[in-house]
Amino acid sequence: MPATKFICPNGERVPIKECLNSCKQKERCMFLPTLRAIAKSLDRGIKGPTVTELISGVRETYLKKTTSYAVNPQSVLYSLHGQAVHTIHEDNMDGEILGEIRLNDKITSGKFDLFGKIIDNEEGVLGDLKVTSSYKIMKALGIYKEDVETGEIYKSGLKKGQPKTRKIFRYDGVRHVWDWSVQLNYYRRLLEEAEFHVQRMFIQALCRDNSLKTAAERGITKPVYIIPIHRISNHWLDKYFGTKAKLLQQAIRTKRLPSPCSLKETWEGKKCLEYCDARENCPHAQELALLKEQKAI
Ligand code: SF4
Ligand code: SF4
């Protein structure tokens, strides 16, 4: 079931149809065509689970498919920005590039963004476009900060006699690209099943907060980064997606709520408290919210 309500800036829930007919608040939070585009993007009419749905927790996807829920139109707008980036490529594909084609297999379906000569003259390059935060790009590039000694010593105060330090950027950290990697590798798998050979894979990440001071503080100084993605074995992909698709089908058939999503899927619980659209229908999210409240007292 796609989302049925919008969350207004004051936190009230409004059925999407009612919002599109007339705004229940003092003034509209966005232009009407923007809200219509957001509403349209929420129901893509795809039956089976998609690659991105299977990368999310099984409980999240189950709840989104079976219960009515509300979304903040402003957050959905970010994914529409992503689609707008796709649109600018449409007239520039030069016949040697394929784009935006949905491929299926017996487990799932996925729509890749770009495939072909997308970097230079090398054939078989698969690319995915992301519009994302400087935080996500910093993690994906393995950027972190480290204290290095300046050669000076504190002459007074609590730190007297201790060496002074300053923070410098390092670029050799662990690259946190797991979800991008799994997604792109499954598109590769679908393309290879359709007899296209994929040589290399890349993410083109557009930073949505690039002009802010926080981006520079995270070592993100450019608006766009091209990030290479490595191959994952087909055996692993089949096992991962196959197991999750099976659990989801089982839950839908028996109408039983699957186990809570894993710590990795919930970003150590942060997603349950603030970002998961299914959280209002999820007992685990409510338990976590209660615990947080009790801790704050
Ligand atoms: S336009 Fe915005 S503020 Fe008005 S009802 Fe819709 S979501 Fe709420
Ligand atoms: S609130 Fe957390 S556990 Fe519940 S569906 Fe969302 S991500 Fe999964």
| Distance from Cα 281 to the centre of ligand 1, integer Å | 22
Does the structure show a pLDDT above 90 at 91? no
pLDDT value for 252: 96
Q: To 10 degrees, the CA torsion angle through 196, 200, 206, 212?
A: 160
From 257, 267, 280, 284, give the residue whose CB has the most ligand 2 atoms within 8 Å, as the site to mutate. 284
Q: Which helix (H) or strand (E) holds 53?
A: helix 51-55
Q: Is 205 in the pocket of ligand 2 (CB under 6 A)?
A: no
Chain-centroid distance, C-alpha 276: 12
Q: Is 127 in the pocket of ligand 2 (CB under 6 A)?
A: no
Average pLDDT, the chain: 93
Q: Whose CA is nearest to atom 8 of ligand 1?
A: 8
The pLDDT tens digits for 21-60 are 999 999 999 999 999 999 998 887 788 899 999 999 999 9
Phi and psi angles of residue 129, each rounded to the nearest 5 degrees, phi first: -100, 130
- pTM score of the predicted model: 0.90
Give percent of the chain with pLDDT exceeding 70: 99
pLDDT value for 85: 75
pLDDT value for 53: 95
Q: How far apart are CA 209 and CA 215, in angstroms?
A: 7
Mean pLDDT value across residues 100-117: 94
The pLDDT tens digits for 146-198 are 999 999 999 999 999 999 999 999 999 999 999 999 999 999 999 999 999 99
Which ligand number lies closest to the CA of residue 66?
2
pLDDT value for 79: 77
Q: Is 57 in the pocket of ligand 2 (CB under 6 A)?
A: yes
| Distance from Cα 89 to the centre of ligand 2, integer Å | 35
The pLDDT tens digits for 232-282 are 999 999 999 999 999 999 999 999 999 999 999 999 999 999 999 999 999
Q: Is 251 in the pocket of ligand 2 (CB under 6 A)?
A: no
pLDDT value for 48: 83
Point out the ligand 1 atom lying closest to the alpha carbon of residue 35. 1
From 59, 62, 277, give the residue whose CB has the most ligand 2 atoms within 8 Å, as the site to mutate. 59
Q: Whose CA is nearest to atom 4 of ligand 1?
A: 23
pLDDT value for 82: 74
pLDDT value for 239: 97
Q: How far apart are CA 113 and CA 84, in angstroms?
A: 12
Q: 100 near 113, Cβ under 8 Å?
A: yes
Q: Which helix (H) or strand (E) holds 246?
A: helix 234-254
| Distance from Cα 63 to the centre of ligand 2, integer Å | 9
pLDDT value for 52: 95
Q: 52 near 130, Cβ under 8 Å?
A: no
Q: Is 288 in the pocket of ligand 2 (CB under 6 A)?
A: no
Q: Which two tokens stand for residue 142?
A: 């393995």
Q: How far apart are CA 185 and CA 240, in angstroms?
A: 12
Chain-centroid distance, C-alpha 54: 13
Which ligand number lies closest to the CA of residue 266?
2
Q: How far apart are CA 285 and CA 293, in angstroms?
A: 12
